[in-house]
């Protein structure tokens, strides 16, 4: 007959071990910090990234469209908290723009963004309704 003696500390240690509640999430380089978002929201502005280059060449067509819509580049003075995670273009067409890779941070009054979003939501709704009526026939 074999008697197995386990020390009390080993038994308690096994019962008290728990899995970490922490999970790994890969960081998203395009996430704008919540503090920055909140600061601009308080001023009635919305933020987003726009593509300024693609495959090493300037994407002036995309930038031109965004600027015509009312987006303006955010300056480093407006977002000092992003100085460590972003860089500022020192030369060229987009000099002074806060960038990450091939995108630049831009701002627009929030009411314009909301009206534009509402316009396209309505447009999609109309198209879906038209499609559904054609399918039903």
Q: Give the dihedral sign, CA 30/48/81/60.
A: positive
pLDDT digits (tens, 9 = 90+) for 35-91: 999 999 999 999 999 999 998 899 999 999 999 999 999 999 999 999 888 889 888
Residue 25: count other Cβ atoms within 10 Å of its Cβ: 6
| pTM passes above 0.85 | no
């Amino acid at each position: 007959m074999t008697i197995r003696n386990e020390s009390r500390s080993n038994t308690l240690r096994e019962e008290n071990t728990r899995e970490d509640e922490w999970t790994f999430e890969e960081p998203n380089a395009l996430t704008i910090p919540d503090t920055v978002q909140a600061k601009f929201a308080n001023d009635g502005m919305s933020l987003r990234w726009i593509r300024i280059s693609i495959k090493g060449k300037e994407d002036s067509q995309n930038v031109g469209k965004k600027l015509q819509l009312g987006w303006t580049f955010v300056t480093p003075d407006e977002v000092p908290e992003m100085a460590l995670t972003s860089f500022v273009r020192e030369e060229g067409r987009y000099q002074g723009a806060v960038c990450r890779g091939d995108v630049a941070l831009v701002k627009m009054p929030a009411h314009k963004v909301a009206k534009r979003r509402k316009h396209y939501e309505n447009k999609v709704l109309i198209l879906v309704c038209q499609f559904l009526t054609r399918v039903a026939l």
